């Protein structure tokens, strides 16, 4: 390397003789190139040497490496971290941020300080003894008023019932009957007077409190307005390049992708930082990889040292712009789906209303964006019949095994109702990377989509939907475990997350590119299904006629 650069690092000697890839990495689904793996090894060695960072790194962070070709043809690499590291977005040895929002004296720091001052003022007002005492008095008065009015309503009801009994007993003189009417009118009037007096006393308290609350609300509105303006200004400062030398702002990039605003943290991930520095310096991007270092977050599934695709929510629109002008690998999942169109799909069960087929791994269950044909169409074409086949339930593209197809919309509706009512029993087989010690058990972790990284799912105790899985260990071999799963709910990626999450089995399904390590396939197979036939009322039990292969015998 002719000119030393603090962020540009030479490849290790082991890279000698390794051929760079012909095209740049497709960032949302990839196997890391050996050059990236060597660079990542060096980054990980450097991270291990930083004793001052170990506490923070133990909590987990995403890092990235980018192999670049210099003007003289030599290869080198860049390294980056997502977000902040040790409280800063700048650290020696790593590329700088796309835009330094933490620069002292910069507009963002000044705006942030103004918002912090507003927060302090709000906190001070809310902690004022007079304000807190008025809030407590008002709440107490409202409770007492409601108790008083409730007691009076009960007294009115009891008096009304007593008057009714006297009227029903008969024998009342006209004067006595008129006295009962006056009693009723008097009690109702007294209730109204009491209600009005209580309301006036409460309103006096509320007005006193409102004078203080108005100032707090004004400050909160100002805080919201300043935050929105600061965020909008920040988005305009992020100018991202692509290989053609074109620069675009975050707002334009995300609006073109159909989003109102970029999500928080957009442009601060490792991948945009790496590409931006390559373009700024005239270095040609060759290949890239990102890896997780440290413990898994509580909600997400991340494994120490594993490689991960770029996130779709924050990086999807950005990388779609930044990769323009580069020759990029095609999406391997779309390539696989097209290749799997030629695979035979065995019919395992059939009657006049439905059929069950054994879907190969890599075949789409329903049509996707890439244009590849999906299961129902492929089965109908293979049968050479003009028939309507409708998918009843889905399997992930990478999952193999049983799928039910209905021959009419009515049968599809009836079968889908059985799934919704959890009256369909399913069994899956899966090879897991790692050894599950227990013989079996139950996993209950609520799941919901990760809004910034679809289609990944996350464990969320607040917003997640209940997800329950039973499992049995069938075999342990070569550092892997064969498990039978029986899901009682049908959440997206349920088995994959329940297997991989630390609070689940802590052992991802072999070949799981989202929650574990990629391989030649996802080793998950829908093996058996049982349900009561919606047309005949008879129990139907179907077993797959294909088997789940074993992963490669080497250690996972």
Catalytic residue IDs: 396
Q: Show contacts of 212-216: CB within 8 Å, 24+ apart.
A: 212/125, 212/128, 212/130, 212/131, 212/134, 215/125, 216/122, 216/125, 216/126
Between CA 68 and CA 274 the distance in angstroms is 10
Residue 184, token pair as written in the block: 């009723």
Between CA 303 and CA 294 the distance in angstroms is 8
Any alpha helices (H) in 357-408, and if so which ranges?
375-383
Between CA 183 and CA 160 the distance in angstroms is 10
HEC profile of 264-293: CCCCCCHHHHHHHHHHHHCCEEEEEEEEEE
Cis peptide upstream of residue 455 (ω within 30 degrees of 0):
yes
Q: What angle do CA 413, 416, 420 make, to 5 degrees?
A: 130
Based on C-alpha coordinates, what's the Rg of the chain?
33
Can you state the percent helix, strand and coil of the chain, rounding each to 5?
Answer: 40, 20, 40
Cβ proximity of 510 and 519 under 8 Å? yes
* C-alpha of 495 from chain center: 16
Bridge-based pairing of strands 457-459 and 468-477 is unpaired
Residue 36, token pair as written in the block: 């990236």
- Residue 482: name the closest of 401, 442, 427, 541 by CA: 427
Cβ proximity of 514 and 496 under 8 Å? yes
- Residue 473: name the closest of 491, 492, 488, 486 by CA: 486
Between CA 432 and CA 63 the distance in angstroms is 26
């Amino acid at each position: 390397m002719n000119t030393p650069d603090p962020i540009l690092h030479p490849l290790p000697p082991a890279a000698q003789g390794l051929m760079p890839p012909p095209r740049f990495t497709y960032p949302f689904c990839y196997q890391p190139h050996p050059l990236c793996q060597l660079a990542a090894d060096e980054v990980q060695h450097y991270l291990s040497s930083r004793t001052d960072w170990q506490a923070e790194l133990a909590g987990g962070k995403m890092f990235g490496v980018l192999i670049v070709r210099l003007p003289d043809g030599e290869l080198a690499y860049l390294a980056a971290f997502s977000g902040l590291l040790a409280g800063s977005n700048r650290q020696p040895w790593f590329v700088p941020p796309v835009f330094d929002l933490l620069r002292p004296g910069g507009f963002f720091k000044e705006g942030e300080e103004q918002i912090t001052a507003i927060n302090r003022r709000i906190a001070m007002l809310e902690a004022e003894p007079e304000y807190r005492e008025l809030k407590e008095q008002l709440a107490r008065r409202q409770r007492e008023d409601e108790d008083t009015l409730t007691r009076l309503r009960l007294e009115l009801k009891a008096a009304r019932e007593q008057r009714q009994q006297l009227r029903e007993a008969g024998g009342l003189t006209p004067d006595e009957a008129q006295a009962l009417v006056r009693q009723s009118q008097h009690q109702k009037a007294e209730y109204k007077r009491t209600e009005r007096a209580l309301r006036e006393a409460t309103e006096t308290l509320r007005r006193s409190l409102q004078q203080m609350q108005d100032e707090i609300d004004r400050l909160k509105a100002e805080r919201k307005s300043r935050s929105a303006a600061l965020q909008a200004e920040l988005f305009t400062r992020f100018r991202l390049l692509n290989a053609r030398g074109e620069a675009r702002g975050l707002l334009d990039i995300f609006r073109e992708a159909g989003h109102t605003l970029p999500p928080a943290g957009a442009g601060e991930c490792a991948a945009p930082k790496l590409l931006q520095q390559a373009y700024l310096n005239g270095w040609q991007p060759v290949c890239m990889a990102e890896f997780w270092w440290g413990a898994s977050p509580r909600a997400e599934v991340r494994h120490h040292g594993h490689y991960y695709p770029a996130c779709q929510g924050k990086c999807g629109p950005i990388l779609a712009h930044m990769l323009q002008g580069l020759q990029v690998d095609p999406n391997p999942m779309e390539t696989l789906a097209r290749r799997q169109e030629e695979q035979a799909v065995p019919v395992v069960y059939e009657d006049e209303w439905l059929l069950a087929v054994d879907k190969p791994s890599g075949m789409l269950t329903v049509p996707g964006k890439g244009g590849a044909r999906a299961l129902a169409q492929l089965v109908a074409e293979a049968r050479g019949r003009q028939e309507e086949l409708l998918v009843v339930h889905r399997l992930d593209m990478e999952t193999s095994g049983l799928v039910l197809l209905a021959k009419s919309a009515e049968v599809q509706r009836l079968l889908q109702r059985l799934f919704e009512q959890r009256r369909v029993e399913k069994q899956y087989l899966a090879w897991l990377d790692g050894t599950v010690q227990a013989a079996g058990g139950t996993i209950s972790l609520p799941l919901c989509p990760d809004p910034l990284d679809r289609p990944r799912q996350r464990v969320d105790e607040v917003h997640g939907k209940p997800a329950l899985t039973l499992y049995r260990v069938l075999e342990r071999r070569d550092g892997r475990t064969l498990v039978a799963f029986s899901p009682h709910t049908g959440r997206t990626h349920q088995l994959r997350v329940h297997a991989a999450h630390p609070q689940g089995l802590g052992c991802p399904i072999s070949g799981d590119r989202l929650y574990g390590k990629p391989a030649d396939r996802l080793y998950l197979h829908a093996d058996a299904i049982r349900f009561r036939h919606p047309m005949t009322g008879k129990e139907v039990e179907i077993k797959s006629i294909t088997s789940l292969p074993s992963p490669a015998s080497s250690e996972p």
